[in-house]
Structure 1
Amino acid sequence: MSTTVMTAISASIGFNLNPLDRRSDKRDDHAWIEHLRSDPAARFLVFDGDVPLLKRGSEYDPWFVAGETAAFGQPLHSVFLGEESDGSGRFALGFAPADPAPDTGYGRIDLRSLALQDLVAAGALGILAEAKSMLDWHRRHAFCANCGSASRVTNAGWQRICDVCGTRHFPRVDPVVIMLVIDGERCLLGRQRHFAKGMYSALAGFVEPGETAEDAVRREVMEEAGVKCARVVYFATQPWPFPSSLMIGCFAQSNDTDIVVDTDELEDARWFSRQEVAAMLAGTHAGGLSTPKPFAIAHHLLQAYVEKGDSVLFG
């Protein structure tokens, strides 16, 4: 598959489109960061805990000017997200979650709902995902994992330093494989107990230390469904800010078709015909079964299989 086609596929997946220049080369330049922050053109995302606040209007607007953020008090965390094409800075501010949340006159909508309901522009959604992952990292890593002392923020929010033992901590991303297993005109789907009624999806699991993504695909499919796989083909990735994973989408070719479900991981798993998956994607399945929505990479794995069959395994 050509690079151009793969780029188009990737950009169409939820959270993937992020137009900012991250300017990682300037994060340690405090004067430059503060110049961007004080510029009237700077814009800020505001999070109440892990939920973004949005201005209500004809459409939801996640961006605030500096004067508007003052109403929320002093942020617990601030992260430089990147630079817009016009040179203006974009930042994320994290505030302590209010309990109960006050009626601020702003929309308080979790990121998954924003993506599911397509409430903000694709580029803004990608930036919100970056912000949520970073603010969540700060909430979880206030203390040094090496010695337990309090750590402090540096590099415009992209690093924490322990002044006691000198350890430097960086944001982490957890790799997760999500794979559509194919047997000719059938594919393997499973459902977890917390899924919406009737929804089936591709299998998924975390990559373990010392393991390749390809081996993780084979291991997870074997563990969850008892099916052996051979060929593994990369499809696309998706940042998944819940809290901070990278979904590595793959297709896998099955070596056998007998399913043994790990009931600790899955409620059910079975083979679905390509035609049946097409009906599930279209919302016309006779049994009311469905698939993940278009913002999820699983949807795009299934859509590619419906359109191209097992040729997705061979180029």
Structure 2
Amino acid sequence: MDTVLPVLPALIDRGSAARMKPGMLGELVRSGTARAMVLSGRQALVSGNSLVLLDAAEIAEHLQDTPYVPQDLIYLGSALAGSDLDAGTELVLFILPQQFEIRAEEFEAHVAGIPDAAQWAGFREVAARLNPTDTALFIEASAIANWHATHTHCPRCGNPTQPEAGGWVRRCPADNSEHYPRTDPAIIVTVVGPDDRLLLGGGGPLDARNYSTLAGFVEPGESLEQAVQREIGEEVGVRVTASQYLGSQSWPFPASLMLGFTATTPDTEARPDGVEVTRARWFSRSELQEAVLSGEIIISTRLSIARSLIEHWYGGVIQDRPDTP
């Protein structure tokens, strides 16, 4: 068994150097070569199994003097070889005003090229059917859009900040301080007992069927391994004697980076804290597969690192119940 999760290749070059050029983003939009993703709140335009990518110049032109003038314009990068787009395709993000409830038929009145079947959808609704490049774009766009929405003012003096560097920096015009997108590290862990059984937990009602790995945010001054020990101890009352990093997944809803670990414990009894974790249960491999197939429990979907961690312990693919959406 591999000791780490597979590393997924980067599909988008975010152009950290190119976006520092003053005026770069405006020039790119006016060039007529850039493709645009559009976000309204946490929803993007999707048609079938794909994100709708529009002509950025056309959007900028036709949305002038309409209620849909984007409140933020951000450089997402350019497609790399091996992505699902032509290599070198330049990509930008238009974030529509939050105070408007945008619908595809209204937006289409101002912008051409939107497929008839296009709909506004959140990432969780469509992630299972998007290709890897669209998935990467949706995650990147969500992360940077969430940051802009929650960091509009300077934390030092309270003045409104202004986007720079293609939307990846906000500068305070009053004190000239620069502010960068934040990411909150969180550990997510499979806990394995002395008999090689897996400990999974869940929150909410005691009779709920959902079970998953255990997770929590890293606190200031902690190492990742210390966070694993603390969170597992707090949530289910078991001691962690060793842990190993396996891989990570960005989950920007709003700003998390999930850092996956597997940990071992000498304990065989779990004591849920009753707040974050209300149910905890040990599973052998056969017990887990049987419980999933019977519908007795529901485990994390294949979109999440939680499922990858569980299947890493399992040693293969866990078969879902046939009627699982």
Q: Answer whether TM exceeds 0.5 for this pair.
A: yes
TM-score by length of 2: 0.83
User: 1:36–1:88: 8 Å Cα contact kept in structure 2?
Assistant: no
* From 113, 116, 119, the counterpart of 1:107: 119
- CA distance, structure 2, for counterparts of residue 194 and residue 109 of structure 1: 28
SS for the counterpart of 2:311 is helix
* From 201, 215, 218, the counterpart of 1:190: 201
SS for the counterpart of 2:13 is coil
Q: 1:216 to 1:295 in 2, by over 3 A?
A: same
Comparing both structures, which one devotes a greater share of its residues to helix?
1
User: 1:237–1:246: 8 Å Cα contact kept in structure 2?
Assistant: yes
User: 2:14–2:78: 8 Å Cα contact kept in structure 1?
Assistant: yes
Q: 1:206 to 1:63 in 2, by over 3 A?
A: same
- CA distance, structure 2, for counterparts of residue 87 and residue 34 of structure 1: 18
**1:98 Cα deviation after fit:** 5.5
Report percent identity of matched pairs: 30
RMSD after superposition? 2.3
Aligned to 1:151: 161
Matched AA of 2:306: A
User: 2:38–2:95: 8 Å Cα contact kept in structure 1?
Assistant: yes
**1:165 Cα deviation after fit:** 1.8
Aligned to 2:28: 36
Matched AA of 2:129: L
Give ranges in structure 1 of 5+ residues lacking alignment: 12-16, 309-315
Q: 1:196 to 1:6 in 2, by over 3 A?
A: farther
Aligned to 2:289: 278
**1:68 Cα deviation after fit:** 4.6
User: 1:43–1:65: 8 Å Cα contact kept in structure 2?
Assistant: yes
* From 166, 170, 181, the counterpart of 2:180: 170
Q: Please state if 1:78 is matched with 2:73.
A: yes
User: 1:18–1:123: 8 Å Cα contact kept in structure 2?
Assistant: no
Q: 1:221 to 1:80 in 2, by over 3 A?
A: same
**Length, aligned pairs only:** 293
User: 2:184–2:256: 8 Å Cα contact kept in structure 1?
Assistant: yes
**1:36 Cα deviation after fit:** 2.8
Aligned to 2:109: none
**1:255 Cα deviation after fit:** 2.6
Q: Deviations over 1:40-67 (max 9, x none)?
A: 331111001121122x3x5433311122
Q: Deviations over 1:115-173 (max 9, x none)?
A: 2xx23211111111111110111111110011111111111101111111222110000
Q: 1:195 to 1:109 in 2, by over 3 A?
A: farther
Q: Please state if 1:95 is matched with 2:96.
A: yes
Q: 1:18 to 1:39 in 2, by over 3 A?
A: farther
- CA distance, structure 2, for counterparts of residue 65 and residue 175 of structure 1: 35
Q: Deviations over 1:80-111 (max 9, x none)?
A: 11112333311111112365443526311111
